[in-house]
Homo-oligomer: A and B are copies of this chain.
Amino acid sequence: MIPFEEMRELAQTTPSRIILLVMDGIGGLPHPQTGRTELESARRRNLDRLARESICGMSTPVSPGITPGSAPGHMALFGYDPLKYQFGRGIVEALGLDIEVGPGDVVARGNFCTVDDSGSITDRRAGRLATAINHELCDLMNGHVQVAGFHAEFFPGKEHRFVLRLRGQGLSDRVADTDPQREGMQPLHAKALIAEAEPTAQAVRSLVEQVRALLAGRKPANMLLLRGFSQHPDYPSLRDIYKLTPACIATYPMYRGVARVVGMDILPAGETLQDQISILRQSYKSYDYFFLHYKKTDARGEDGDFAAKVKAIEEFDAALPAILELEPDVLVVTGDHSTPAALAMHSWHPVPVMLRAQHCRRDEVDEFTERACLRGGLGQIQAMDLMPLAMANALKLNKFGA
């Protein structure tokens, strides 16, 4: 992919529209009984029709063998090198909880944990305590913990997870984790990694000691661990690089968060795929780039439920015609990574992709499956190259060089 500085020179605004449909975790692995993957097992009437009208291929989100998290997987689909445009742990967690992170704020991922009388960690996750208790503990800390010069706030997540947000002037995220990532050790002191981070590190140390006193004697959570101190990344936006007016239609906060980082307008997505398609249709005139995120394929893959993932694919297939009616100039269908039910987790396997546009140069692929897309005209492509390809097919990129 060419550098953004070069891309900026080539990109132009036109009336054409691009829709990126992300079936999260769509890539799969064969079922041991049938030898067919989830995609190969599903009824794919509309996906296959689209494949026949598209150029197809296999997309590698990060690099061969690397299993991407959701953030790098999506950054690549938005055209950003996922190795260069990384997110701190704290930011990813904050995005996933829809927490507002301002330009000067510092956030960290927190765990409630259990320590013994000597202060050594006996359980890094405090027995994965109930989410309701997590809420109580965050309320308690928000009521009592104060640090000089900054405002600290705790946001509960699921089970033992929470986010700490520090707000104020002169914060830095160059603070070392207090989480040693091992049991049997004491929580680490929050060290400043650069001199400018000393006030932040002091605030964190003070806050940690206050919490230690506040939770003393409680069970199972009597202490906290912090890691991944990070600030909101200041990355170039799709408006800036591609002169697009982009919109995100995602039902989960994490994906909205990543989309916000690259400058998308976040549309009210509702709760179902039908809700998402309604808002897509309503706002179709107002944007020239849409990212629509479909979560179920990944969720069912992570459950290890092959049949349910097949069903999720079929549900998406059935909803496709309502999107096709919009007749987008460029339609891209792919995933951010594979989530085979056989592994019940994200995996490293390349992801099928198809791109339909008037001048896409169709290949001979007639099915939207892992095996069929191997023979596609895109070949094996880096996910981050899909964005320039979508732009080109939308006739939004000028010639490079004379």
Give me the interface of A with B, judged by CB distance under 8 Å. Answer: 1-3, 6, 10, 29-30, 37, 58, 62-73, 82-83, 86-87, 89, 92-93, 340, 342-343, 345-349, 359, 361-364, 370-371, 374-375, 377-382, 385-393, 397-402
Contacts and interface: CB of A to CB of B under 8 A. Distances in A.
B401 A86 contact: yes
Contacts of A69: 399-402
A254 to B, nearest CB: 9
A364 B371 contact: yes
Contacts of A6: 83
Contacts of A382: 64
A171 B3 CA distance: 30
Report how many copies the assembly holds. 2
Given A363-B374, A377-B374, A379-B380, A92 B401 contact: yes
Contacts of A361: 29-30, 37, 349, 370
Given A359-B342, A374-B377, A82 B392 contact: no
Contact of A359 (B63, B343, B370, B398): B343
Contacts of A83: 2-3, 6
Contact of A398 (B1, B67, B93, B402): B67
Contacts of A340: 359
B359 A402 contact: no
9 contacts: A1-B64, A63-B388, A64-B389, A66-B388, A71-B402, A82-B400, A92-B401, A93-B402, A343-B359
A392 B67 contact: yes
A89 B402 contact: yes
A147 to B, nearest CB: 26
Nearest to A88: B402
A63 B1 contact: yes
A281 to B, nearest CB: 28
Contacts of A392: 65-67, 347-348
A366 to B, nearest CB: 14
A359 B348 CA distance: 10
A386 B345 CA distance: 22
A371 B363 contact: yes
